[in-house]
Amino acid sequence: MAMESCTMTKKLEVHFILIPLMSAGHVLPIVDLAKLLGRRNNVKVTIMTTPVNAVRVGANIDREIQCCGSSISVQPFRFPSVEAGLPEGCESSEAVPCPDLMYNFAKATTMLQKPVEEALEKIVIPTIPTCFILDKNLPFLFDVAKKFKVPIIISDALNCFSLLCNHNLFHSKVYENVSESESFVVPGLPHRIVFKKYQLQEYFSMNVGEFNVLREKVWQNEGEAFGVLVNSFQELEEEYVKEFTRLTGHKVYCVGPLSLVNKEHKDKAQRGKLDSKEEEEEGEYLRWLDSWPATSVIFANLGSLTFVPPGQVMEIILGLEASKRPFIWVLIMRDAHKRKELNKLLKEDGVEERVKGRGLIIRGWVPQILILSHTAIGAFLTHCGWNSTLEGITSGVPLITFPLTAEQFYNEKVAVQLLETGVRVGVEKAMHFEVEDKSGIQVRREKVKEAIEKVMGEEDEESKRIRERAGNYREKANKAMEKGGSSYLNLSLMIEDIKQHFRRRVEDDDSKSEP
């Protein structure tokens, strides 16, 4: 009751409407952003998403409203699953039952204009300055937002390093006349960054109808947006932020690491959780970690291994075994056919029995931030999704990099070459979904073991330096988010810029109406 009257008396000055892509890696940071914005004075936030996702974020937002009295609401819109050839209720990329249907999922995201417009009609857009924060991967919603004649800030799931790489690749076309496995330097970067074509993001090497249409639209929108919002922080990649800003002329707001908004244990535990049945198991994992010395345990989570051959998965676990160190492996094989094959391989080999007590294989969701921030964790074997990479950096843990797809090879460069807080296992070639079966086994168990030693070795001087640098980034990340830190200030600037934009528009309108 008290809370309600508090929000009612609030004088709201600016309204942000947030629309994330329907995928855990995108929804979670946007929920974090909503919380950050909601904690600032006089800011109203609306998250728009599909009914299933709305339920998922609801509990999290309710808790935030209770604790901070923030003015955040969730407005659902219909997702055209069935029209796009997806099963009913399939409203996020994780729920897509098989790889072939990813095209249908992409297609559904191009059909959202009407549902979103209908939902927007239900929100009384207040007469205060308003701004849309739109996921870059929903480019067709730009036209909807434009109708309201309010500024649009693009939320990009990439960091500035990846944004600048893509920008320079796109404009130089250096990848055009090289073969798949030839090395080339990305032009115009502060560091000498070498890639092979099959490590680039899909759209540089693939030509797939629906995705291509999306890509064109994305580039076009970027030029028209008011600004770009990045889940990163100035101190992490300063030169790249500057250069990307200079080249594009965008306002680039680095406001992360967004996951640091979750200070409470409950929030950390709940982040990204799909249901609440695993609560007991969670306690169990943490108790298990309590039983190990500081920085002794490897945490391995390669996200969903949909496109990784089971034989390769086996090599990773045998590498973990060979390290003779305690480990947690989160093993998610969504493809039923491959899951069967992998389980057969695991059984035949008997590795799970052999590592019992020392190795924990978890087949399902885990509270990643809680685990990463546990003192027992000494290294993070990651697929280098930016979400996870940043969580690793923020926890001060050295990274063992095993990129799979998307821009994950770029993030590997950030960890290994820019920050020097990571070591690569040695994956050469992206496992995008169309090349999966041709990719075979790229990395043997020995390489996995070697990489683990390079970051965890007790005696090795370079290992020590890696760990020390990793620890320093934890401090830098936390500082950036504190009051007065660079990310804190960038968020303040963003809010001020939106207000300013409206003041100027009102003045313009006034001067026009004078005779």
Instruction: Tell me, yes or no, if 432 is annotated catalytic.
Output: no
User: In which element (H, E) is residue 74 found?
Assistant: strand 71-76
Tell me how far, at minimum, the Cβ of 401 lies from ligand NAG, in Å.
Answer: 14
Q: Residue 359, interface with ligand NAG (CB under 6 A)?
A: no
Q: Which is nearer to ligand NAG, 355 or 480 (CB)?
A: 480
Structure tokens at 242: 């500057």
Give the integer Cα–Cα distance in Å for 159 and 161: 5
Q: Residue 25, interface with ligand NAG (CB under 6 A)?
A: yes
Q: Residue 176, interface with ligand NAG (CB under 6 A)?
A: yes
Question: Within positions 263 to 302, which residues make up the interface with ligand NAG, using CB under 6 A?
Answer: 271-272
Beta bridge partners of 229: 155, 253
Beta bridge partners of 43: 14
Instruction: Tell me if 407 sits within 8 A of 162, measured CB to CB.
Output: yes
Q: Which stretch binds ligand NAG (CB under 6 A): 338-346, 386-394, 416-424, 440-448?
A: 386-394
Q: Which stretch binds ligand NAG (CB under 6 A): 124-132, 141-149, 249-257, 314-322?
A: 249-257
What would you report as the CA-atom Rg of the chain, rounded to the nearest whole angstrom?
23
Tell me how far, at minimum, the Cβ of 226 lies from ligand NAG, in Å.
Answer: 11
Q: Which is nearer to ligand NAG, 30 or 218 (CB)?
A: 30
Active-site residue identified among 135, 156, 267, 335: 135
Q: Residue 252, interface with ligand NAG (CB under 6 A)?
A: yes
Q: Residue 234, interface with ligand NAG (CB under 6 A)?
A: yes
Q: What crossing angle do the helices spanning 461-481 and 486-513 adopt, rounded to 10°?
A: 40
Instruction: Tell me, yes or no, if 383 is annotated catalytic.
Output: no
Give the integer Cα–Cα distance in Å for 138 and 109: 6
The β-bridge relationship of strands 422-424 and 297-304 is unpaired
Tell me how far, at minimum, the Cβ of 384 lies from ligand NAG, in Å.
Answer: 10
Q: Which is nearer to ligand NAG, 13 or 94 (CB)?
A: 94
Place of tokens 């993001």: 201
Q: Residue 173, interface with ligand NAG (CB under 6 A)?
A: yes
Tell me how far, at minimum, the Cβ of 177 lies from ligand NAG, in Å.
Answer: 4
Place of tokens 């995108």: 26
Give the integer Cα–Cα distance in Å for 78 and 255: 30
Dihedral sign for Cα atoms in the order 398, 30, 95, 274: positive
Question: Which of 53, 168, 388, 411 is in the footprint of ligand NAG by CB under 6 A?
Answer: 388
Q: Residue 493, interface with ligand NAG (CB under 6 A)?
A: yes
Tell me how far, at minimum, the Cβ of 371 lies from ligand NAG, in Å.
Answer: 9
Q: What angle do CA 504, 510, 512 make, to 5 degrees?
A: 105
With CA atoms as reference, report the closest residue to 106 among 337, 430, 408, 433.
433
Q: Residue 24, interface with ligand NAG (CB under 6 A)?
A: yes
Instruction: Tell me if 174 sits within 8 A of 196, measured CB to CB.
Output: no
Q: Residue 405, interface with ligand NAG (CB under 6 A)?
A: no
**Interaction site with ligand NAG (CB under 6 A):** 24-25, 28, 173-174, 176-177, 234, 251-253, 271-272, 303, 368-369, 385, 387-388, 391, 486, 489-490, 493
Q: Mind telling me the catalytic residues?
A: 26, 135
